[in-house]
Amino acid sequence: MQTENDDEYEFPSYREIWGLKIELLGLFILLMATVWQVSITDRADKYTLDAKDRIQLIANSNLLLGIQDISLALGTKDPQKKQHYLNDAFETTQEAYLKISEIDMQSKSMEEEHFSWPKLVRKAHFVAGALLVILGKYLVYSHKRKVLDKERDARYKSLFGNP
């Protein structure tokens, strides 16, 4: 016996096919967002942090050299040598100050870049891809649920007959 609702139980349904297509699209978007993350964002972040570490090392070395020059100046009695050591100390500490200022500017730049458009686009790709996978899974689930409902209805009809 055919009922008027038999058409909605067709296998495979358009809902299942579209669900699988949407899942594939979502997974592809997630793949592209992952490739973007690994190849572009991670590399840029690592380069920035490495550059910051190198600059910090140079600044620390210059500060130590400046302290060394000051201690040499304090230990000598020759006015020309003392002035030479003090000039060297000034130059190296000035260079250290400039390097530390550069680190500060890079840090501020990194903070501003944290909310940049490329990062926002990457995050949007992750969210969109995940939502498409969820939507696709829901469509496939709803189709499977209808197939199970049809089987359950058929078992009910076979046991109790058609009222």
Instruction: Write out pLDDT tens, residues 137-155.
Output: 888 888 877 777 777 777 7
The burial class, CB within 10 Å (0-12 / 13-18 / 19+), for 68 is: middle
Of the listed ranges 6-15, 28-37, 59-68, the one predicted with least confidence? 6-15
Neighbours of 28 (CB within 10 A): 12
Sequence ranges of the domains in the chain: 13-156
Of the listed ranges 49-53, 95-99, 108-112, 128-132, the one predicted with least confidence? 108-112
pLDDT single digits (tens) 33-66 = 888 777 776 666 666 677 777 777 877 887 888 8
Q: Which residue has the higher pLDDT, 132 or 2?
A: 132
Of the listed ranges 2-11, 13-22, 61-70, 85-94, the one predicted with least confidence? 2-11
Q: Which residue has the higher pLDDT, 13 or 8?
A: 13
Contacts of 136 (CB under 8 A, 6+ apart): 18, 19, 20, 21, 22, 23, 24, 25, 26
Residue 159 pLDDT > 60: yes
Q: Which residue has the higher pLDDT, 1 or 20?
A: 20
pLDDT band at residue 14, thresholds of 50, 70 and 90? confident
36, 122 Cβ separation under 8 angstroms: yes
Q: Name the token pair of 51.
A: 């550059």
pLDDT band at residue 2, thresholds of 50, 70 and 90? very low
CA distance 33 to 27: 10
pLDDT score for 110: 66
- Please spell the DSSP secondary structure of 133-156, one letter per residue: HHHHHHHHHHHHHHHHHHHHHHHH
For the chain, the average pLDDT equals 76
Average pLDDT of 65-73? 83
What is the pTM assigned to this prediction? 0.46
